[in-house]
């Protein structure tokens, strides 16, 4: 399969037909597997013989999803998990111990910040949060026990872009792994492993499913690291349901065409927003006005499907834009074929103090849009009403 193009891998990788020769991938909704004999059971349990045992750590549908995602990321190995957060937790549990240190970008998903800053801290793992795009700050934060550098690029909601190759060199010089949460771009637009990252984590809940149906996650990358994640999952059990894995497996078939269509919509909408009176600033890596536009063009295939923008008039004006929509969904989720709008300062980032929010650049007038597959003219009309009000 190694010689095939991304598009071919998206629909063909990971297929292993049963004795029925089904064309579409089978869904194995079973928690356990039977053995021919006591000896075979023993051999399967010990790992002497390859084969499925119990769905906490082995299921053919989950294996198919893992293999397809690994192929798309260019990863030697992949383990699927119950959600994006359980992927990040599993990576941390597999690679860190008490006394170790994480360097994380400040622009991380809120639950990831909580996981590192609050939960892992209880177990003696310290995290330094550094300004997202400031490579010197990552370098300066390195300690002898730094084991993991963890970033999201582009970041949420300001779409800040981190130089993955440069940061990989810094992390490796410091003896740490570089993990990239590749949720916003997906392998269709960005392949962090090819740029030097050691592992990629996913919230498969977002674009990999792509239609807002199921939760899922994955860790893909270096075989030795993924093997440790697998051992953690096998024992601790944050495992994905075969049903969810099957939905995500089928979602991967349309990933590239969805990502490109949704990104084209986001670029058109970003350009239009930039020209609207009352819009102070648009954050989108595909715009020439974006501070890391050049880096984004080198590192990503295009700008992605998520943008944010600041309206003049703070929270009142921002909420008016949200409330004037009739079609766009008011929800914090992203990565769906349906466009969503959210006011980060009062929702996803509402638990952060106003001072910390301001330091992070998340103002009261900021709105985030995750562009879906609707016609861009309909999105413009839905936003124009609130912007004009
Ligand atoms: C949603 C999200 C997560 C968490 O994923 P879940 O599947 O909701 O657990 C992690 N990182 C990013 C960037 C996300 O958007």
Closest CA to 156 of 367, 372, 387: 367
77 φ, ψ (degrees, to nearest 5): -150, 160
> Given ligand 1 and candidates 109, 116, 157, 159, which is best to mutate, with the most ligand atoms within 8 Å of its CB?
109
User: DSSP labels for 103-115?
Assistant: EEETT--HHHHHI
Q: For residue 156, which atom of ligand 1 is closest to its CA?
A: 13
Cα 281 from chain centroid? 25
Centre of ligand 1 from the C-alpha of residue 109, in Å:
7
Tally of CB atoms within 10 A around 136? 10
The angle that helices 60-73 and 242-252 make with each other, rounded to 10 degrees, is: 30
Q: For residue 334, which atom of ligand 1 is closest to its CA?
A: 15
> Given ligand 1 and candidates 108, 113, 206, which is best to mutate, with the most ligand atoms within 8 Å of its CB?
206
Q: Which residues, at least 6 apart from 331, have a Cβ–Cβ distance to it below 8 Å?
A: 340, 342
Domains and their CATH numbers in the chain: 6-254 (3.40.640.10), 255-388 (3.90.1150.10)
Rounded distance between C-alpha atoms, residue 117 and residue 279, angstroms? 34
Indicate whether residue 84 lines ligand 1 (CB < 6 A). yes
Cα atoms in the Cβ-side hemisphere of radius 13 Å centred on 40: 9
Rounded distance between C-alpha atoms, residue 332 and residue 314, angstroms? 19
Centre of ligand 1 from the C-alpha of residue 214, in Å:
12
> Given ligand 1 and candidates 81, 82, 85, 245, which is best to mutate, with the most ligand atoms within 8 Å of its CB?
85
Indicate whether residue 85 lines ligand 1 (CB < 6 A). yes
Q: From first to last of the 389 residues of the chain, give the pLDDT tens digit.
A: 668 999 999 999 999 999 999 999 999 999 999 999 999 999 999 989 999 999 999 999 999 999 999 999 999 999 999 999 999 999 999 999 999 999 999 989 889 999 999 999 999 999 999 999 999 999 999 999 999 999 999 999 999 999 999 999 999 999 999 999 999 999 999 999 999 999 999 999 999 999 999 999 999 999 999 999 999 999 999 999 999 999 999 999 999 999 999 999 999 999 999 999 999 999 999 999 999 999 999 999 999 999 999 999 999 999 999 999 999 999 988 999 999 999 999 998 887 778 878 878 899 999 999 999 999 999 999 999 989 87
Would the CA dihedral through 345, 350, 354, 359 be positive or negative?
A: negative
Output the six-digit token pair for 63: 């294996």
Q: For residue 184, which atom of ligand 1 is closest to its CA?
A: 13
Output the six-digit token pair for 49: 């013989």
**Ligand 1, atom 6, residue with closest C-alpha:** 84
Indicate whether residue 295 lines ligand 1 (CB < 6 A). no
Rounded distance between C-alpha atoms, residue 147 and residue 127, angstroms? 11
3-state secondary structure of 329: strand
């Amino acid at each position: 399969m190694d010689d095939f193009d991304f598009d071919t891998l998206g629909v063909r990788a990971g297929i292993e037909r049963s004795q029925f020769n089904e064309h579409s991938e089978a869904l194995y909704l079973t928690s356990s597997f039977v053995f021919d004999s006591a000896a075979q059971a023993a051999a399967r349990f010990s790992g002497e013989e390859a084969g499925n045992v119990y769905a906490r750590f082995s299921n053919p549908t989950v294996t198919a999803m893992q293999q397809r995602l690994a192929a798309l990321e260019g990863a030697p190995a992949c383990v699927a998990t119950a959600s994006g957060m359980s992927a990040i937790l599993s990576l941390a549990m597999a690679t860190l111990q008490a006394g170790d240190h994480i360097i994380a970008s400040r622009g991380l998903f809120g639950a990831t910040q909580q996981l590192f800053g609050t939960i892992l801290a209880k177990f003696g793992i310290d995290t330094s949060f550094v300004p997202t795009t400031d490579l010197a700050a990552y370098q300066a934060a390195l300690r002898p026990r730094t084991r993991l550098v963890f970033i999201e690029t582009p970041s949420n909601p300001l779409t800040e872009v981190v130089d993955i190759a440069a940061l990989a060199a810094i992390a490796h010089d410091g003896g740490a792994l570089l993990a990239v949460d590749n949720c916003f771009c997906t392998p269709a637009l960005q392949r962090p492993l090819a740029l030097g990252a050691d592992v990629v984590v996913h919230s498969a809940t977002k674009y990999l499913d792509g239609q807002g149906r199921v939760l899922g996650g994955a860790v893909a990358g270096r075989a030795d690291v993924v093997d440790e994640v697998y051992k953690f999952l096998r024992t601790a059990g944050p495992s994905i349901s075969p049903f969810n894995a099957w939905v995500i497996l089928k979602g991967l078939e349309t990933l590239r065409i969805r990502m490109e269509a949704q990104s084209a919509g986001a670029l058109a909408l970003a350009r239009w927003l930039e020209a609207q009176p009352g819009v102070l600033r648009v954050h989108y890596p595909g715009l020439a006005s974006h501070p890391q536009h050049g880096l984004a063009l080198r590192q990503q295939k295009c700008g992605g499907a998520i943008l944010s923008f600041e309206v003049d008039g703070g929270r009142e004006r921002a909420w008016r834009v949200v409330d004037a929509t009739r079609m766009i969904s008011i929800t914090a989720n992203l990565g769906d074929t349906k466009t969503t709008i959210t006011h980060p300062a009062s929702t996803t980032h509402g638990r952060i103090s106003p001072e910390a929010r301001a330091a992070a650049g998340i103002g009261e007038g900021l709105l985030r849009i995750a562009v879906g597959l609707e016609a861009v003219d309909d999105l413009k009309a839905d936003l124009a009403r609130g912007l004009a009000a």
